[in-house]
Amino acid sequence: MELAPRRHLFVLVHGGGGSRWDWHRVAPRLEAAGHAVLAVDLPTDDADAGLWDLADAVVDAMPADAPAPVVVGHSLGGFTAPLVAARRPVAQLVLLAAMIPRAGESVADWWTDTGHGELEGTDDDAAFYHDVPAALIAEARVHERDVQARAMAEPWPLPRWPDVPTRVLLAADDRFFPPAFQRRVVAERLALEPELVAGGHYAPISRPDAVATALLEGLPDGPGRTIGGRRPPPTG
């Protein structure tokens, strides 16, 4: 795969049960703005796949001569995106309605550790798809995959968050990760001020214009600087 000269490379990481299809409405909008886009299928349906296997699936899909990318992790992709930054130079990390891990924490433990399990009304389809058009929900069902990877039970392997400019985007109408819940988790774990984008948990499907606009408006503005993002403190 050869990348035409463009301003930035976006690497888009889907969430649990999803696929690269989840980005099929956002990617053309980023490309129309003159950027390269790479959306990758993670091996979440492979029982033998660990956390590093998920990250390596992303890294292996990137051309060796690709510029340092903007890596965007959606939902469960928040566990994978920072691991990509441990494998390859990354210009920026963006977390969209994402899980934010701590050192040594597994996906399985995250729900209890963050208090998500105490929230009401977050365990049904409405929490995921309430603002997605019916036709797109039916199409999403076709692309859903069972999450069987052993990565779900593995401790997150980094000792701290990568020293990479990071942005956190909250979906304003997210019923699965409500904004108030997310703000608390972001404050506790990254000490960053999150930004709001329109839409529910599956905003890449329901509100692709809003997601693409947010990604474009916060692009890195030169080495070590970002618009709307900063490096988290070096905490575990």
Q: Where residue 232 falls among pLDDT bands split at 50, 70, 90?
A: low
| Number of compact structural domains in the chain | 1
- Domain of 166, in residue numbers: 9-217
CATH number where 70 lies: 3.40.50.1820
Looking at residue 117, its pLDDT comes to 82
Looking at residue 65, its pLDDT comes to 87
Residue 196 belongs to some domain of the structure: yes
pLDDT digits (tens, 9 = 90+) for 131-178: 999 999 888 888 888 888 899 999 999 999 999 999 999 999 999 999
Residue 223 belongs to some domain of the structure: no
Q: Where residue 192 falls among pLDDT bands split at 50, 70, 90?
A: very high
- Residues 79/105, Cβ–Cβ less than 8 Å: no
Mean per-residue pLDDT of the chain: 89
Residue 231 belongs to some domain of the structure: no
Residue 222 belongs to some domain of the structure: no
pLDDT digits (tens, 9 = 90+) for 61-79: 999 888 899 999 999 999 9
Residue 236 belongs to some domain of the structure: no
Residue 143 belongs to some domain of the structure: yes
Q: Is the pLDDT of residue 28 over 80?
A: yes
| Cα–Cα nearest to 107, from 63, 73, 65, 70 | 73
Residue 202 belongs to some domain of the structure: yes
Residue 233 belongs to some domain of the structure: no
Q: Is the pLDDT of residue 6 over 60?
A: no
Looking at residue 7, its pLDDT comes to 85
Contacts with 33 (C-beta within 8 Å, 6 or more apart), sequence order: 212, 216
